[in-house]
Amino acid sequence: MVQRIVVVGGGVIGLACARRLAGEGKRVTVLDGSTSSKESSWAAAGILGAGSEHVADGPLFRLCRNAYRDAPGTLRDLEAETGVSLGRRSEGTMVLARSAEEATSLGAKDEFLRRHGVESRWLDPAAARAQEPRLEGPILGAAWIREGRLDNRALWRAYEASCRGRGVVLRAGEAVTRVTEEGGRVVAVTTAAGIEPADVVVLAAGAWSDALAATASLRLPMVPVKGQMVRLRGPDDFLRHVVKASLNYAVPHRGGEIVVGTTAETVGFDRDLDEAVLAKLVQDIAAWVPGLASLPRVESWCGFRPRLEDGLPAIGPVGGRPGLFVATGHYRNGILLADLTARLVATAVAGGRDDRLAAFSPDRFAPKP
């Protein structure tokens, strides 16, 4: 009998899971409360940050490193399958230091990454400017890190196209309100349109996952972290690298577009944009790349990154809830981790075991007996 699987959430994590499961012969439906399924996946900057996001060894760093290793083949396959160009680039990320304290910290990061197999190189100010000529300002040094970037909106479109091609049913604007259990296992989800039977439910609703998890007596302490961002348009190859300085970044994409971000606001689901904040984002990164200040803005937006209490995603089966699986809480790493998350979920759904899942168990927030 073909398993009926409902994936709750139509972002890149949910679509990647649906694509993988459908490719294994499962009957998959994706339900998403948004009419566009364009939340944090659409709002991201598209950095494949296996190194610049991390300063210490741990399960998330190792998972990101594994995902980055596998990314080129995965993304090539997705492009070949769908015909969607992902705008992939691999010039790397330059993380800048402007004070002695930042230089010391960044030097330690550079050493840590090299020690753990991530290609990184320390650059003095002259070398940093030679590698990225538009850099100015009081640069005391930089770490160049081997990372990639892509058009995250194209990635979402590619996953959607792949899902359709594999027979996945995609239903937008249909919010799931409850996970239904019967006889000790998950049997359905409830939406405004009625009951959707399911042998397996994969909860991948991003920053909206906690309330739905609670209907299955699962605690997922989720915080939506709002990020406001700006898209500028400049000449082609205005920047070659992703440029990061403190919490700010500029990410060059095809067509001369440059995404500048970001904030990290814990204000619930407030979608208002603050013009003063948006202007400051550009101003702050323009202290390093002055030419950015004169580029026209073509878009501004915000998104809500799903962050769990301990900063790690929740991936895998829910103990005591047969048929319920979770793939959420990826915070700043969702674009990079989408396909690996999908593979881990598919392995778990098939009853397999992967030791990497232990650190990301959805059950880790359960009250201690």
Tokens of 229: 């961002």
- Domains in the chain, ordered, with CATH? 4-47+153-221+309-365 (3.50.50.60), 91-146+223-308 (3.30.9.10)
- Region of residue 200 (left: phi > 0; alpha: psi -120 to 50; beta: else): beta
Euclidean distance between CA atoms 38 and 159, whole angstroms: 13
Residues in the chain, overall count: 369
298 residue type, one letter: V
* Total-model pTM: 0.96
Euclidean distance between CA atoms 5 and 31, whole angstroms: 11
In contact, 202 and 327? CB cutoff 8 Å: yes
Q: What is the 8-class DSSP label of residue 50?
A: S
pLDDT in single tens digits along all 369 residues of the chain: 668 999 999 999 999 999 999 999 999 999 999 866 568 889 999 999 889 988 889 999 999 999 999 999 999 999 999 999 999 999 999 999 999 999 999 999 999 999 999 999 999 999 999 999 999 888 999 999 999 999 999 999 999 999 999 999 999 999 999 999 998 899 999 998 899 999 999 999 999 999 999 999 999 999 999 999 999 999 988 999 999 998 899 999 999 999 999 999 999 999 999 999 999 999 999 999 999 999 999 999 999 999 999 999 999 999 989 999 999 999 999 999 999 999 999 999 999 999 999 999 999 999 876
R_g (Cα) of the chain, nearest Å: 21
